Amino acid sequence: MPNILLTRIDNRLIHGQVGVTWVNHLGANLILVANDEVSEDEVQQSLMEMVVPDSIGTRFFSLQKTIDVIHLASDEQNIFIVCRNPQDVLKLVEGGVPIKKVNIGNMHFAPGKTQISSTVSLDEKDKAAFRRLHELGVELEVRRVPTEAVDVDILKHI
């Protein structure tokens, strides 16, 4: 079974908090960005890799490729998965990726979304995906950085 330390939802994907703070806190040696768009965009990949220490591996896989290859991961890989939205995480879980815990770090406000914390805003599709993840037994937490307490009880908002 792959050693998935944590899955994070962050619409920015890899940036300073993810590439340094979370990786160090988790003891991850691999960041796997599961996103169809970024898996085909070398410019975005290069920009994201710039904030990751050289000692940390990065992979940019489509959702389907993640589902297809995650069980081939080496035991030595301590994997930190990053997704852009809860719908993508749900696709991974329903595809057999053994995700047990999701950290919700950043979901920008946009028209049609309700802000539930300083960094997280949800629309009905987001709420439905979180409800389904919860039904599937996935633990959900809202927290920007590892040193903070859980920001808000997301279950009250979905």
Which positions are annotated as active-site residues? Answer: 15
* Count of C-beta atoms within a 10 Å radius of residue 101: 13
Amino acid, single-letter form, for residue 99 = I
Question: Pick from 29, 58, 63, 24: which is nearest to 44 by CA?
Answer: 58
Contact 34, 81 (CB under 8 A): yes
DSSP reduced 3-state for 58: strand
Per the DSSP assignment, residues forming a β-bridge with 82 are 8, 33
Chain-centre distance for alpha carbon 156: 21
- In the chain, count of helices (H) and strands (E)? 6, 8
Q: Which residues of 55-69 are buried (b: 16+ CB within 10 A; e: fewer)?
A: ebeebbbebeebbee
